[in-house]
Structure 1
Amino acid sequence: MATLINVFTVEPARQRELVDVLVTATEEVMRHRPGFVAATIHAGAEGTRVVNYAQWENADAFRAMLTDPACQEHLRAALAIATADPQLYTVESVHHV
């Protein structure tokens, strides 16, 4: 499994707009791509951050998504609103109550 943690920095007045762009991208495009597992969008309480936590079956599935023109269109829309710091991680440990 590959986990994307993408931290966006955004002006507080545009945080809701960015959340809406990411939710739409996930619902309309990303979740239909091969290897997509799940995604959660988090709005920071201070208003300047949005985090996209997404899981893919593997890093190759994530990289293939990046080359898809429909996905690129949504990524450009998000980057027109905010800056991003996307990083891929491997899940090393999971804990539940």
Structure 2
Amino acid sequence: MSETPKANGTTEIRVGQEVATLVNTFSVDPERQDEFVRAWVEHTEKTMRHRPGFISANLHASVDGERVMNYAQWRSQADLQAALADPEVAREIVELGKFATGRDPRFYRVVSVHTA
């Protein structure tokens, strides 16, 4: 039985959850990691979280300063694709890309969850 994600946007990771999970890893210059994180947080707060189908976004910064990983949940891949097709979002993504030397966006399915 699948459940609907919480309306408050809390990230829940469960096997069989019917959400689109995007994991996007960015390669960044360690001197610019904090700047990239601040810009991505602003982009998420200002723009992405207000798009239809957005559930949550969680940003992770590697301790070596070389990577930033965004774990995002959307109601569907189509919802994220619609958001990315919006000219305002596309413009912001191009600007954010100036911080990163590479990115690796992929959709995932949860296959196992372990908790204490």
> Per the shorter chain, which TM-score range?
over 0.9
Counterpart Cα distance in 2 of 1:33 and 1:55? 12
CA-CA distance at 1:6 after TM superposition? 0.4
User: In structure 2, the residue corresponding to 1:45 is in which secondary structure?
Assistant: coil
CA-CA distance at 1:94 after TM superposition? 3.5
Say which one has the larger Rg: 2
Q: Report the structure, 1 or 2, having the larger helix content.
A: 1
Answer 1 or 2: higher relative contact order, Cα 8 Å, separation at least 6.
1
User: In structure 1, the residue corresponding to 2:63 is in which secondary structure?
Assistant: coil
Counterpart Cα distance in 2 of 1:93 and 1:17? 33
Unmatched runs of 5 consecutive residues or more in structure 1 = none
Q: Which amino acid aligns with 2:68?
A: V
User: Hey, what does 1:88 align to over in structure 2?
Assistant: 107
Among candidates 88, 105, 110, match of residue 70 of structure 1:
88
- Runs of 4+ in structure 1 over 3 Å off: 92-97
CA-CA distance at 1:63 after TM superposition? 0.8
What's the TM-score, normalizing by structure 1?
Answer: 0.93
What's the TM-score, normalizing by structure 2?
Answer: 0.78
- The aligned length equals 97
1:21-60 correspondence to structure 2 within 5 Å = 21-60=39-78
